[in-house]
Structures are given as structure tokens and as C-alpha cells.
Amino acid sequence: MAQRVSTSFLQRGEEHKRICVYDCRVENGKATQKFLESSGLDFNDFLKHLHKEFKIGSHETFVVATTDRTVLDFNKFEELQDGSTLYLLQHKNQALSVATEEQINYLPHYDTLIRSGMYEYYASEGQNSLPYALAELIDNALSATAKNTGVRTIEIRMMFDESLGKPAVIVLDNGCGMTSKQLNNWAVYRLSKFSRENSKFASQQEGYIRPDPVPRSLNSDISYFGVGGKQAAFYIGDSARPGDSKHIKNDDEHFLHALIAEESRKESFTAVVIMGVQPEHVTFLKKDFEVWVRQLAHIYHYYIHGVNGNDTRKNSRNSSQTKINIQITLREKPPKCPRVMDLRDVDNDMETLYINSAADTFEFKALTAQDGGTVEGVIRYHPFLYDRETYPKDPLC
């Protein structure tokens, strides 16, 4: 696409501040893109510039907003950086009828290049590290859906149908989605949740707020350090991307059309697509489906079943069902049928075996006086009876 740059307002000795503007006022029409030089302009000058460049009538009403729908005013215009992207809209909540692009710039941490994809600390324990990589992505989805008032839905979708493209892993959730700034944050290695910014503007920052205490700390206050998601994505495959139909250029990504078509039926969502999945991972995920699904059911046992866990004994206190559904889907080329498993339906994960084989339990809770912190948990008693341990064994051993 040809890029048009207006330099009529550029003054000597000033830094360039080049703004990309999409005219999205016409619904169901093509968005016109122009690059405007805004150096030396205040907000009123910039509005006059927009009227001229986009031929906006003097009586037309419109708003100028960032990609995260912050409407510009004098102060917010001054905070715009070179390369920012803006929308011309009829009103703030106007839906975009076409896809747009936004340039995202960040300085990568050196570990992005030398440590992404490394999981040696799990492999050294003699375990296959792939389930832990998937768990990192589920952690991110739990954080993204933490403020949902209804059911929190997370799906790990394995696309191994060669007729639809090369192998891919898709992580879906029904969280609030990501603004362009949050997408930028996700791409930065070691950007802690305690220091990251969620908005483009300093006046709108939502600093980290510790959630209210809940039993056993099942509050989804995880994904602290901005490392795991990147390591996991590049351990599983060689690229992670969002997508829209106009960016799908070859048959290797054909499955994305169906994924994008689902968006219209969802109020909000996040989708992370990992492509270039390593061949050895594809083999493991297909061959040992029940094994790694069972491991994930163990890791997220209490998020799924509640604080009392999956106690199936008749005299037990059944814990209230949580509103978290984590589903695993593995799709292969027909005639093989898709395999679908809800982690709540797994009844032989180790935590379920621990709970249901315990002879007794002791719950404890300790409070610290200085900062109001809490330490709590459960000790389970598995006696030695009739010359044998009653502690459950891993069925895979």
C-alpha cells in the first residue's frame, strides 16, 4: 500500500512524530489509511489537519481514538508517540468492519533470544516438559478470565489435521481480550505484572492491585514475571501470532479461517496461535493424549473442583463447583475422530487419588501479625496398613 506523508507542518529542528490514521467512519467499507506528520502541532492544529486530509465536512461529527478506544483530547494528544495508530470513528464504540494494522515497537530483553523455549529445569527431573509448557499458557488464560462474572472457559485446541494446514496449538479463553498496549507487554520478556502499563497513557494506568483473599489462594493471581508465556510458546513451536483473514496467504494456515469465523459469536475472547509445532511434540501429544491431559488435571485440580477437591466418597463434603471449564481438543485428519476431554471429567489424576485414599485430613491456617499474610493448607494421613503403604501410586509408574 502506498504511504502518503504530509510534511507541511514539519518545522526545522523538531523530531518527527508520524501518526498512522485509519478512517473507519464508513461502516462495512474499506478503511482509508494515511500517515500524517504531527510535529509542532497542538490538538486543534491536528484536528484541522484531519479535516483537510480526510475531507471532513465542517458540520460532521466524529471522534479520534487510539486502538484501545481512548478518545483524544489536548493532554492525550501530547502523549502520543511517533508511530502511534489512531482511528477516525463516528462514535467511541463504533465496531470496526475491517481489519487494521498497528506497529508495535519494544526493546527485547536479551533472554528473549537466548532463553525462550528452554525448559531444562523440568526435563532434568526426568519428566516430559510439554504439559508444563501448556500449563504456562493456561495460567495466562486464568489471569485473563479472573474478572469474569460468569463461566470462565479455556480451551487448548490441537490442530493436527494436515488437510487444514501445518500443526498448530491454539489457546482460547473468554477473557476481556488484549489492547494493543497489553499485546505489546506480552511480547516483552521479563516485564513484571507489578511494573507493566496497561494503557497508552499515564493518566489511565491501572497499577497492580492485589485481589481479595480467597481460600487456598485460588484467585488466579498468577503469571507474575512475564517469562513463562514466551518460553512456553517457543518451546512448543517457532512462532506465536494473532491472525485475521487478510493475513492468511497460504494453505499452511487454512485452519485460521474457521477460527476467525468464530469471533462473531463471542462477546470477548483471546486467541493465541502457536505454529511450527516441533515434530516430537506432535508425536507425544497424539500418542500420549491421556497422559498429559491427566497431568494438567492434576495441576489445575483445585481450580476445577474447588477448595475441597474431587472427593468422591459418599460421606465427604462435596466442594461447590467452580465456574472454570478447561477443555482439551485434539483434531486429526479424518477418518480419525476429534478427541475432546474436559479436565473436570478426569478421575484418575494424582490429586484425586491422594484425596480419596486418605484416611484422615488436618486443615491448618496461620496468620502473620505484621502484614496480614496467610499460610493455609491440608495435611493428609495415609497410614501404613497390613505391611503396605496406602499412599497412592502413580498409575504410569
What CATH number corresponds to the domain at position 84?
3.10.20.10
pLDDT at residue 111 in the model: 61
Report the Cα–Cα distance between both ends of the chain, in Å, rounded.
59
> Average pLDDT for residues 153-175, to the nearest whole number?
91
Question: Which of 56, 89, 122 is where one domain is finished?
Answer: 89
Which amino acid is located at 391 in the chain? Y
- Better-predicted residue by pLDDT, 110 or 217: 217
> Average pLDDT for residues 141-153, to the nearest whole number?
88
Number of domains in the chain: 3
Per-residue pLDDT of 83-95, as tens digits, reads 889 999 998 888 8
- Is 152 a residue whose pLDDT tops 50? yes
Is residue 179 located within the same domain as residue 46? Answer: no
> Average pLDDT for residues 254-263, to the nearest whole number?
78
Q: Could you tell me the pLDDT band of residue 45, with boundaries at 50, 70 and 90?
A: very high
Let me know how long the chain is. 397
pLDDT at residue 108 in the model: 62
Q: Could you tell me the pLDDT band of residue 269, with boundaries at 50, 70 and 90?
A: confident
Q: Which of 7-16, 86-95, 107-116, 291-300 has the highest mean pLDDT?
A: 291-300
Q: Could you tell me the pLDDT band of residue 3, with boundaries at 50, 70 and 90?
A: very low
Q: Could you tell me the pLDDT band of residue 208, with boundaries at 50, 70 and 90?
A: low
> Average pLDDT for residues 19-33, to the nearest whole number?
86
Is residue 208 located within the same domain as residue 166? Answer: yes
Q: Which of 244-248, 297-301, 310-314, 324-328 has the lowest mean pLDDT?
A: 244-248
> Average pLDDT for residues 251-279, to the nearest whole number?
81
Q: Could you tell me the pLDDT band of residue 81, with boundaries at 50, 70 and 90?
A: confident
- Better-predicted residue by pLDDT, 264 or 246: 264
- Is 23 a residue whose pLDDT tops 90? yes
Structural domain contains residue 100: no
Structural domain contains residue 42: yes
Structural domain contains residue 94: no
Q: How far apart are the C-alpha atoms of 333 and 159, rounded to whole Å?
A: 9
Question: Which of 89, 121, 136 is where one domain is finished?
Answer: 89
**DSSP structure class, residue 263:** G
Is residue 232 located within the same domain as residue 127? Answer: yes
pLDDT at residue 246 in the model: 47
Structural domain contains residue 166: yes
Q: How far apart are the C-alpha atoms of 301 and 303, rounded to whole Å?
A: 6
What residues form DSSP beta bridges with 385? Answer: 388
**How many degrees, rounded to 5, is the angle at CA 143 between CA 147 and CA 245?**
95
- Is 49 a residue whose pLDDT tops 70? yes
Structural domain contains residue 396: no
For residue 384, what are the domain limits? 358-389
Q: HEC states along 252-270?
A: HHCCHHHHHHHHHHCCCCE
Inter-residue contact 308 to 316 (CB < 8 Å): yes
Is residue 183 located within the same domain as residue 250? Answer: yes
Percent of the chain topping pLDDT 90: 35
Per-residue pLDDT of 177-191, as tens digits, reads 777 777 777 766 666
Is residue 161 located within the same domain as residue 261? Answer: yes
Is residue 116 located within the same domain as residue 210? Answer: yes
Is residue 268 located within the same domain as residue 343? Answer: yes
Percent of the chain topping pLDDT 70: 74
pLDDT at residue 124 in the model: 46
Q: Could you tell me the pLDDT band of residue 193, with boundaries at 50, 70 and 90?
A: low
Mean pLDDT for all residues in the chain: 80
Q: Which of 9-18, 57-66, 151-160 has the lowest mean pLDDT?
A: 9-18
Q: How far apart are the C-alpha atoms of 336 and 329, rounded to whole Å?
A: 13
Q: 306 phi and psi, to 5 degrees?
A: 95, 180
> Average pLDDT for residues 202-207, to the nearest whole number?
50
Is residue 147 located within the same domain as residue 267? Answer: yes
Q: How far apart are the C-alpha atoms of 326 and 341, rounded to whole Å?
A: 9
Q: Could you tell me the pLDDT band of residue 248, with boundaries at 50, 70 and 90?
A: low
Per-residue pLDDT of 344-395, as tens digits, reads 999 999 999 999 999 999 988 888 777 667 788 899 999 998 888 888 988 8
Is residue 54 located within the same domain as residue 196? Answer: no
Q: Could you tell me the pLDDT band of residue 9, with boundaries at 50, 70 and 90?
A: very low
Structural domain contains residue 48: yes
Is residue 134 located within the same domain as residue 51? Answer: no
Q: In this structure, what C-alpha cell is assigned to residue 309?
A: 477437591
Question: Which of 58, 89, 120 is where one domain is finished?
Answer: 89
Which amino acid is located at 165 in the chain? G
> Average pLDDT for residues 157-165, to the nearest whole number?
90
